[in-house]
């Protein structure tokens, strides 16, 4: 009898042991997508374009917590759902390929992914972090890891001189967001990789804002990429998820063990939702960006707006750098209103644009970083980074750009009525 993971009673469908998708990325050449296809094709089909057992075009949701062993010492490759699940494995293979890495790991949230990778380091290790970054990352590092003896330096990583000056012999990693959340500063990924590699450390890039459609940090020398998959990757404001992508066998062994031990791995249904979201990543990202530029330009012309931050402006301080490391500028815009009293009126008057804490979905969302995403950052540090009472962040959705602008227009007119000229 052949060595199969299923028997002949299932209508002749069998899953030969050597056909079982490896939980890592060693793909069966018979069922995996041609490695040469372009990114817009890859996102549609995923790493393995159909279920090898049934031919299902949509990857099945393997809603099973555990898997039957064919015999003692034998396994289908799937043992227990915390460690490995076929739907999650397909998503992990897919994100690895989209981000140009060898390995992908899927977590319940972006913070789950960041929390896992920080465990690669030890008390006494020094980590340099972008000072302008998602407030939840600050809270995790500051509130939970600093007390254990991890040492963090929070600096403006868009200045490579400041990064160089912050390096110490015990620096083990450089964690950057580029473009940064919410000030849209751009950090030189290649230069950071070169600096940190000189002393054997890792460069970690949070690539949430641009997504792999516009930027692939591993190609520029980064060692690990993290994502809040909740945002552009899933893309529909309907699920949470997080990812780490990298290409190192040593890191893979450590990270898989952390994922399995901590248990923050992504559930099968959520993995399926993200896989479905990724199918339209190319179309969505192009539309997000196509909408963002005219909205950012329009905002700039408004008398009630003091300043607009968007890396696609030619006078953005790192515009040229962006052009050398990214293929686009994305859909995120931040702006200062002149009168802080306008913020509350704006947020309550917008009707199409939803006042909610997230980004990267098909619906346009507006966020007040001071009270929401960056509320955990102490005031002096927050203000130094530029997150003041006047700052508002807009995630341009994929609606009609003119409708988004009209909504902003009517909300600014309401501000004028309530707060005067
Ligand atoms: C840039 C960035 N990284 C990480 C996270 C955390 O992701 P999650 O909310 O999926 O835990 C966020 C959340 O807003 C984010 O904006």
Which CATH number does the domain housing residue 359 bear? 3.90.1150.10
% of the chain beyond a pLDDT of 90: 89
Q: Answer yes or no: 51 catalytic.
A: no
Reply yes or no on whether 403 is catalytic: no
Q: Are residues 200 and 235 in the same domain?
A: yes
Are 168 and 233 members of one domain? yes
Mean per-residue pLDDT over the chain, rounded: 93
Distance CA 359, CA 228 (A): 10
Q: What is the pLDDT of residues 139-177, one digit of tens each?
A: 999 999 999 999 999 999 999 999 999 999 999 999 999
State the Cα–Cα distance between residues 152 and 127, nearest whole angstrom: 5
d(CA 116, CA 60): 27
End position of a domain, from candidates 278, 295, 325: 278
Among 278, 308, 325, identify where a domain stops. Answer: 278
In a shared domain, residues 310 and 269: no
Contact indicator for 116, 91 with CB cutoff of 8 Å: no
How many angstroms separate the CA atoms of 6 and 135, rounded?
Answer: 48
230 lines ligand 1 (CB under 6 A): yes
| 194 & 229 share domain | yes
Distance CA 266, CA 91 (A): 10
Does the annotation mark 22 as catalytic?
Answer: no
Q: What is the pLDDT of residue 28?
A: 54
- Domain extent at residue 97: 86-278
Residue 242 placed within a domain: yes
User: Are residues 217 and 300 located together in one domain of the fold?
Assistant: no
Give a yes or no: residue 172 inside a domain.
yes
Examine the fold and report which residue of 244, 278, 312 is the final residue of a domain before the chain moves on: 278
Q: How many residues does the chain have?
A: 421
User: Is residue 392 within 8 Å of 334, Cβ to Cβ?
Assistant: yes
pLDDT at residue number 409: 98
Whether 136 lines ligand 1, by a CB cut-off of 6 Å, is yes
- Confirm whether 42 is domain-assigned: no
377 occurs within a structural domain: yes
pTM equals 0.93
Query: Same domain for 308 and 399?
Result: yes
Is residue 126 included in any domain, yes or no?
yes
Task: Tell me: do 242 and 359 sit in the same domain.
Answer: no
pLDDT, residue 2, reads 36
Which of 15, 62, 78, 134 is labelled catalytic? 134
> What's the token pair of residue 61?
């949701």
CA 32, distance to chain mean position in Å, is: 24
Task: Judge if 214 and 295 occupy the same domain.
Answer: no
Task: Tell me: do 234 and 271 sit in the same domain.
Answer: yes
Query: Do 262 and 396 have their domain in common?
Result: no
> pLDDT of 79-121, one tens digit each?
999 999 999 999 999 999 999 999 999 999 999 999 999 999 9
Q: 111 C-alpha to center of ligand 1: Å? A: 6
- Catalytic residue (one of 82, 139, 307, 323): 82
Average pLDDT over residues 340-365: 98
Cα dihedral sign, 132-285-62-97: negative
Instruction: Report the number of distinct structural domains present in the chain.
Output: 2
Cα–Cα distances in Å, from 15 out to 32, 51, 77? 15, 10, 11
Helices within 326-378 (DSSP H only): 341-349
Q: Is residue 371 part of a domain?
A: yes
The reply to whether 254 falls in a domain is yes
- What pLDDT is recorded for position 100? 97
Specify whether 203 is located in the same domain as 269: yes
The answer to the question of residue 8 being in a domain is no
């Amino acid at each position: 009898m052949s060595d199969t993971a299923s028997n002949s009673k299932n209508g002749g469908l069998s899953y030969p042991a050597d056909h079982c998708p490896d939980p890592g990325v060693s793909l069966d050449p018979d069922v995996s997508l041609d490695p040469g296809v372009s990114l817009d094709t890859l996102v549609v089909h995923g790493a393995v374009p159909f279920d090898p057992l049934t031919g299902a075009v949509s990857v099945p949701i393997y809603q099973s917590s555990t898997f039957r062993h064919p015999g003692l010492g034998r396994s289908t490759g799937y043992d227990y759902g915390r460690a490995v699940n076929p739907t999650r494995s397909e998503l992990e293979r897919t994100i690895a390929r989209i981000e140009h890495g060898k390995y992908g790991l899927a977590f319940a949230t972006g913070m789950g992914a960041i929390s896992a990778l920080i465990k690669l380091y030890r008390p006494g290790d020094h980590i340099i972090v972008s000072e302008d970054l998602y407030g939840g990352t600050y809270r995790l590092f500051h509130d939970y890891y600093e007390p254990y003896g991890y040492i963090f330096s929070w600096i403006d990583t868009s200045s490579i001189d400041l990064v160089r000056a912050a390096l110490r012999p015990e620096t083990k990693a450089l964690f950057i967001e580029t473009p940064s959340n919410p000030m849209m500063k751009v950090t030189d990924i290649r230069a950071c990789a070169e600096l940190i590699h000189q002393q054997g450390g890792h460069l970690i890039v949070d690539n949430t804002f641009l997504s792999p459609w516009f930027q692939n940090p591993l190609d520029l020398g980064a060692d690990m990429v993290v994502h809040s998959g909740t945002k552009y990757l899933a893309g529909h404001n309907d699920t949470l998820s997080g990812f780490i992508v990298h290409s190192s066998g040593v890191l893979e062994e450590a990270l898989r063990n952390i994922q399995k031990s901590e248990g923050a791995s992504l559930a099968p249904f959520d993995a399926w939702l993200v896989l479905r979201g990724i199918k339209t990543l190319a179309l969505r990202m192009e539309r997000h960006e196509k909408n963002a530029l005219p909205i950012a330009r329009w905002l700039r012309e408004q008398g009630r707006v003091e300043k607009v931050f968007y890396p696609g402006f030619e006078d953005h301080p790192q515009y040229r750098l962006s052009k050398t490391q990214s293929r686009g500028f994305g859909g995120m815009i931040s702006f200062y209103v002149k009168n802080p009293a306008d913020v509350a009126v704006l947020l309550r008057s917008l009707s199409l644009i939803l006042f909610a804490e997230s980004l990267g979905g098909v619906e346009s969302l507006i966020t007040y970083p001071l009270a929401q995403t960056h509320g955990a950052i102490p005031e002096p540090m927050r203000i130094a980074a530029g997150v003041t009472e006047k700052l508002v962040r807009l995630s341009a959705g994929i609606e009609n750009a003119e409708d988004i602008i009209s909504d902003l227009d009517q909300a600014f007119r309401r501000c004028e009525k309530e707060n005067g000229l």
